[in-house]
Structure 1
Amino acid sequence: MALAVGAATPQVLLKSYETQSGKANPARGEQFFNAKHGKEWSCASCHENPPNHDTKHIVTGKVIKPLAPSANPTRFTNEAKAEKWFKRNCNDVLGRDCTSQEKADVLSWLMTI
C-alpha cells in the first residue's frame, strides 16, 4: 500500500502508516526509540532523548536537526524524505527496514514531545 502522496504534515504521514499497520502506540514508540535491537546503536544514540534539540551523529559528528516536529516544523512533512531516513536509520539500528507499525509508533511518540 502506498503512503499518502506529498504528505504535508506529520499527522497525514502517521495516518498513512496506521492505515497500513494499525493504531500507533506512543509508549511503544518511545521504547523502540531507546532500545538497542541487536545492533550497537539505538535511535537515541544519535538523536538523544528527548529528540527536541540539535544533536550530532556519534560517528561522523554531523549535526542532526531535532526529530520532534514541535522543535523542527519541517520534520515529517515530506514523505520521500521521511522514508529515505527511516530506511537508512532503521538499517543502522535494526539491520532491516522498519515496519509500518514501528514507524507509526515512533512518529506518534515524536508528536507528543
Structure 2
Amino acid sequence: MTKSLFRNSLAMLGMVSTVAWAADSPASLMAHYAATAGVPVSALSATRGETLYRTEHPGRNGPMVSCANCHTANPKQAGRTRVGKQIEPLAPAANPQRFTDAAKVEKWFRRNCTDVLQRECSAQEKGDFIAWLNQTK
C-alpha cells in the first residue's frame, strides 16, 4: 500500500513538473518549446505560427474552423467563443498577461489544438505560434 502510494505520488509529481518550468514570459515559453522540440529558439518561425493560426481545418461537425474563428483575424483584438463569451486578445502586445502562466498555456493549447486540429499541437507548433504572437505589435 505504501509503495503504491509512493509510486502514484511520484507519477503525479512528474506530470506537474512538465508544466512547472519558469514560464513568466513568452520568451521563456518559446525557449521551453524549442528545447522540447529539439531545435534552437532561432528555428522557431513566426510565419509558421501565423499559418497555424489562420489555416482552416475540417471541424468536428462539418464546417471549416481556424483559431481566427474565435480569436478574430487580428490577435490584438478580443474574440468570442462559440457561445458568445469574450476572449481576451492573444497578442502579448495587447494583453501583457498572455503567455505568462505555463499551466494555463498548456491547458488552452491542449483544448484549442484538439478543437481546431483534431489533435494536440507539437512543441514546435506551440513555439512557432508564440513566436508569431510575440512579434505582433
TM-score by length of 2: 0.77
1:29 to 49, 66, 81: 49
Q: 1:4, 1:105 → 2: CA distance?
A: 21
Instruction: For 1:6, give the aligned amino acid.
Output: A
Q: Write the mapping of 1:17-56 to structure 2, written as runs, cut at 5 A.
A: 17-21=33-37, 22=39, 23-39=43-59, 40-56=64-80
Q: Where has structure 1 moved over 6 Å in runs of 4 or more?
A: none
Pair 1:79 & 2:102 matched: yes
C-alpha contact 2:20 2:103 (8 A) present in aligned 1: no
Q: 1:70, 1:111 → 2: CA distance?
A: 7
Larger radius of gyration: 2
Deviation at 1:3, TM superposition (A): 5.2
Instruction: For 2:92, give the aligned amino acid.
Output: P
Match of 2:22 in 1: 6
Q: 2:34, 2:121 → 1: CA distance?
A: 14
TM-score by length of 1: 0.92
- How many percent identity over aligned positions? 43
C-alpha contact 1:54 1:66 (8 A) present in aligned 2: yes
User: What is the number of equivalent residue pairs in this alignment?
Assistant: 112
C-alpha contact 1:4 1:16 (8 A) present in aligned 2: no
Q: 1:80, 1:71 → 2: CA distance?
A: 21
More contact order relative to length (CA 8 Å, sep ≥ 6): 1
1:100 to 120, 123, 136: 123
Match of 2:84 in 1: 61
Q: CA RMSD in A?
A: 1.5
Which structure 1 segments of 5+ residues have no match?
none
CA change 1:69–1:45 in 2 (3 A) is same
